[in-house]
Every structure is written in structure tokens, then in C-alpha cells.
Structure 1
Amino acid sequence: MNRLAPVPFSVLDLAPIREDGGPAQALHNSLALARHVEALGFKRFWVAEHHNMDGIASSATAVLLGYLAAGTRTLRLGSGGVMLPNHAPLVIAEQFGTLASLYPGRIELGLGRAPGADQATTRALRRERSGSADDFPQDVEELQALLGPRQPGQRVIAMPGVGTEVPIWLLGSSLFSAQLAGQKGLPYAFASHFAPRYMHEAIRVYRNHFRPSAVLDKPYVMLGVPLVAAPTDEEADFLATSVYQRILALMRGESLVLQPPVPSMAGRWLPHEKEAVGSFLALAMVGGPEKIRAKLETLLEQTEADELIFTCDVYEHADRLRAFELLAGLRA
């Protein structure tokens, strides 16, 4: 039995900006990738909110989702995620209510409790708004109410938004959102594509705290997985150096503009940096098809995840398209 066949595959895209490109190219590439994986039978395509990062073009998440929705037909589209402390719940309800009204049945809302930015950027985003990660449970509840049916005497409505009941996911890289998602009976996506250390514990906490809801009758876990697939292990190792350079730059506080692959990372990182990048990418699937198949089967055996959502930040757009073709072939 092919363990991969029944598991939905999805994509998390950060709209990476290349060294020789710009935001427009990155955003057009996102749409091309979305159309590509839609044709391959992938389930959903998410984009993530990041700010003040010169190598990521997905900061205006809802705007980008509208562009992607207009250019696709069946793919489910959502945020992976919106960083809720940066926004008033009403604003997010109106944005995603608008998307859901235009593209019914295709829009979903993944929520994170981290700011997704440095302190200066966080202040610039919020100005006088007092929201913080501590308000996250209350903000999620308010957002659910704004997207739910209008209640008698309700003074503030989201228009569009009210009654759309846009599906909400909770995202996390630690244990807080795992527990909250379980208690609220919501689907849970763990950010194992950059925080694999807590993956098993977060899954356990979520499942142990799960309470059936109107949304779900049993837990639903989706895991983030970095992907660098190529026809051979050797080519994948070469392409992965773009990913290594990007994570290294993130750790050093340098530009995140995507760099071309290099023959070797030797001399580009110190031993402790190499170890840190390796820890960050501990769950990465780097290799040819058979190597990736074996690693994915092990991951599913260990976690019993319900769905996998893949990131792929290789340099050439054609190599990204090919990586997802190779991945889709593993389910045949």
C-alpha cells in the first residue's frame, strides 16, 4: 500500500524574491505555481504574512489571495497565516469575508499569534493598537463571531463577512496554539518547516486537548515540510544551497533575497551556523524521488498527520515547478 496516496498535499508559498528579480516577478510566479499544483491535484495553496523582509512578497496576504483566486478555479486558498495580533479582527473578517463572497467555498483563514516581524515593524503596523499575543484567544473568538451568523442585537457586523463562516485554522510553532486549537475543535497546522523541535509534543497536546465542535468531530493535523526535490539526490543537494543561504541570512539578520545555488557551503558558514541551519531544516525533504518517498513515509508513520503542506524555495522557478511534479508522482 502506498502510504502517501490518501494524504492530501498542499503548498505554502512565501512569494520568494530572487536576487535578479523583484516583487512583481515573485507574485507572478506564485500564481504560476498555484495553477501548476492545482493541475497536479494539490488541495490548498496558502501564503504567509511577513513584514519588513526584502526577500518575501506576501505581506499583503488578502490582496495576494484575491489575485491567486482570480487566476485559479478549484484550489482552496488561504493564509498560512495572518498574524492576528497585527490586526483588528473586524478588518480581517471584512477582508476574508470579501474573498469568500467572491470565491465561495475556496477561501480559508489560518491564524498565527506571533507578530511575524521585528519590534520596530510591529510598532509601525499597529500604531495605537494595543493588541498582543496575549489577546489571541479572545481575538480568535471575536473573529469567529464576526464570520458567523448575525446575532440578535449585534451592533458590529463585518460586511462582507457576516454569515460566511470562513473556515479558520490555528497555526503554531510552539504548544500554545496547539492547546487552543484542540479546545476550540479547530484544525491545526504546525510550523514544522521551521520549528521541527516541538512537532511531536505539539501534535500530542493538540490531540489530547481536542474537543469535538461544529467544525470538526476529530483532530485534523497538517504539518509544514520544506521540499527540495530533483531527479537525483546530487542535484537536490545542489539546489538546496539556496535554501541554506536564505536560512543563514535570516539567522544573521541579513537580506533574505533568494540567492542562486552554489557548489558548496564550505566557507560560507561557521560550524555552529551549519548546525543551527540543520536544526531549522531538520524535517526538510531533500533528494531524488525515492529518498523523499522514504522520508515522507517515515514522517507519516511517526506522526499520523492528516495532511502535509510543502514549502519550496529553490532559486529557479522551473525547478520549483518540477519539484512539485516529482512530489505529486510519489502518490501514484
Structure 2
Amino acid sequence: MASNVTPVTKDEIDKCFSKTTNLASSGLNSTVLACSDEYFAAASNLLTPGPPIHKPGYFVHTGAWYDGWETRRHNPAEYDWALVKLGVGSGIIEGIEIDTAYFVGNYGENVVVEGAYLPAADPEAASSEQEMISDSYSKWETVLPIQPCGPSMRQAWRLLKPTGPPLTHIRVRMYPDGGFSRLRLYGHALPPSLAATQDQSPPIEELSSALMGGLALSASNQHFTPISNLLLPGRGKDMGDGWETARSRERGHVDWAIVKLGLPGSAVKVVVDTKDFRGNFPRAIRVDSIDWKEDENSEPPFDHAGWTELVKGEQACKADTEHVYEGENLAAGNHITHAKLTMIPDGGVKRFRIFGHRATKA
């Protein structure tokens, strides 16, 4: 595992990790399995999408309310800990952020992050997860060596060598006690392998899903909410977990977003979901695709000549609706690596899903 890290300033965090996914998010089905203590505030708050919120002067039974994980004072042990199971099958981590927003006189002063690989298919997975809770578990590898944390601030570290083996579980150690508001693990989800089968057609999978390694790359505008929400599982809970742009005023304006499929392949169905967008859904949409053969670290420009229609023509949209395009509405069959969603002229979309067959390696 990587032992060398470099700090990332708070002003550079979003830019530095803009081409990654926060794997430590409840929006990606990550969960806290256990923790040493959460007397003042639940450890599950570490995984809440979006920035922490502040309610000064608001008190609950245990004391002041905090949007984060806070343990009681005078910890008799060396540190407090929280055990996180990633919602993706496994992932590679490139950077780690600890946000102590609004924790001032009660923040955790140091942090260590450890990782382990325990695939769900392992017949001993359940018992091994129980063992992880105890000090007898010996398979933790240090991902982030001990680092100082400051009061009410974002602090992050880039791994000079991203974690080699994939990870499924993370343990956060907070020294000696106190509070962290958010844990963010910036990296890439690894799609699960398909079991070898004979005489069976390849299954239809959600090629674009963040759970499969899908990645939102760029957009014309992300004024209200980011394009990364487009690839989350489920239909979400409200307008805040979709992609919404500012209102346009120029004639002929359109907004666009480009995503990289986690599983390149051939599409058989496209879904554009406007759930919760009622007075601000796009008038229409277009969906294009491309088989990008350039350097894998590059991305296709939005105006590249290689974009071709995936959904045939411009399609009118409705409020709060899953728009499904398949069959004769879809130019299916071609191998694709990236997709572009264009909103006409602007507005909001909750989810953008591309289903199909993953490409088989030669």
C-alpha cells in the first residue's frame, strides 16, 4: 500500500480530484458497519453527500447538534475508529479528504486511514467483517499514515502511488477523540467481473453507472448541482441530487454533460430521468455517443466531429418522468466509450443511464 502522500490545499481539492469519484458516499451505497463511539453525532454522517450544514444554537439530548461524527470526551483508548464498507464492488483510491467543518474546540486532531480487500463472494466475508471490528484483524494496510487535522477546515492528501490492490473496506482512526464532519475517498470504482458462462447471452448491465466505474467528466454548466449525480444508483430523494444548470438567456443556448462509461460496450436502452424536476426540466434532450480511441487519459471535446446520435433525434421532455429510449428510437449496436447528454436549452435531469452489453476483451 502507498505510504507516501502529498497534502492538497483546500482551494485545490475539487480541481485535483475532479476526474475521480467519492467512493465514501452513502449515495454510492457505502455504509458504516461499526464504530468505537458515536455519542454526540452518528458516524454515518461521514458518508453524507454534499457539504456539512451548520445549526448554531440548536441542541439535542446529548448536546449541540453536529452534521458529522463526534465521539465523547476522555477516550481511554489511543483512538476512536469507524469501519466503512464501500458501496462499489471494490475501488482504487487516489486521494483522501477529512473535513472538520464546524468542529472547532472538539475536532479530531490526527487521522489514520487503513484499507482491506474482502470481496462479497468470499464465503467467509460475514465472519471476516465481524473480525474487522476487533483488534485481532491483521489484514489492515495503511492507506494514509498519521496526518494532523485542523479545526473547521477541509484537508486532503493525494496518494503519490494510488492503492494497488482494490479495496472494499476502510477503517478511519481519529486521534484521540472528537469530531470529523466528512470522509471523502477520491478514486475509481472497479466493475465486477462476469462469471464465465457457456451458451448464454451476455447480460444487460448499466454501463454508465458510477457503481460500475462510470465517471462524469465535464459539463457546460453546473451552477446548482454537479453532473456526478447523473450516474448515481436509484432515483434519488429530491431535486438536490440531480444535475441542474443556471437559466440561460441567449437564443440557441444548450447545456451538455459528457460521461465516460464504466463498461464500454453496445447500448440497448437509454434512460433520461427528470424525477423531481417539475418547473425546471429541459424542454428537450439529445443523446450522442462516441467510441473514443485516443489516449485513455484524454476525453472527447463536446464539439468533436466523432459524436453520433445514440438516441435518434431531439426528444421532448416531461416533468418528473423517466424517459426511456430503446428499439427503433435507439441507434444501438455500435461500440461506445463515452456519451453526451444535451439539454435544450437548460434545466435539470436527475439520472442518465445507459444499459447494454459490455464489450468482451479480445
For this structure pair, what is the TM-score category when the shorter chain's length is used for normalisation? under 0.3
By percentage of residues, which structure has more helix? 1
Give the TM-score taking structure 1 as reference length.
Answer: 0.27
Give the TM-score taking structure 2 as reference length.
Answer: 0.25
By percentage of residues, which structure has more strand? 2
